[in-house]
Copies of this chain bind each other. A is one copy, B any other.
């Protein structure tokens, strides 16, 4: 059910009919690197690179990022730039939330605005 980052990347890239070389050129990396990532011979690239890939492939940044288990610079900043955010995250970490609870929090989020 949870496909690897490489599997996801490979399938989306193929759907779009783009070669590894084309993608790599647009991203600004070597095409052999794309190959290794797609075959899970290397871990997902840096968060910034993941964002570029998502945009070039015309897919959701969030979905690709989520599959990579990486935290983007933006997200990292969103957390560490505010004392209140850090406090919140510490609480969360100590509590060990379930998926359901996370979803409830997302609901609370939407009620905030």
Q: Which residues does A use to contact B, with CB under 8 Å? A: 62, 65-66, 69-72, 74-76, 78-93, 95-97, 99-106, 108-110, 112-113
A82–B99 CB distance below 8 A: yes
Contact across chains for A86 and B66 when beta carbons are under 8 A apart: yes
Integer count of this chain's copies in the complex: 2
Expressed in whole angstroms, the Cα–Cα distance for A87 and B100 within the complex equals 12
A82 to B105, CA, bound (A): 13
The answer to whether B86 touches A65, judged by C-beta atoms less than 8 angstroms apart, is yes
Q: Which residue of B lies closest to A104 (CB)?
A: B112
Q: Is the CB of B109 within 8 A of A87?
A: no
Docked-complex contact B91 and A109, CB < 8 angstroms:
yes
Q: Are A113 and B85 in contact (CB under 8 A)?
A: no
What are the residues of chain B within 8 A of A75 when measuring CB–CB? Answer: 79, 89-90, 92-93
User: What are 29 contact pairs spanning A and B, CB under 8 A?
Assistant: A65-B86, A66-B90, A69-B80, A70-B80, A71-B79, A71-B80, A71-B89, A75-B79, A75-B89, A75-B90, A75-B92, A78-B92, A78-B93, A79-B89, A82-B102, A84-B99, A84-B102, A84-B106, A85-B99, A88-B102, A88-B103, A88-B105, A88-B109, A91-B109, A95-B113, A101-B112, A104-B112, A105-B108, A105-B112
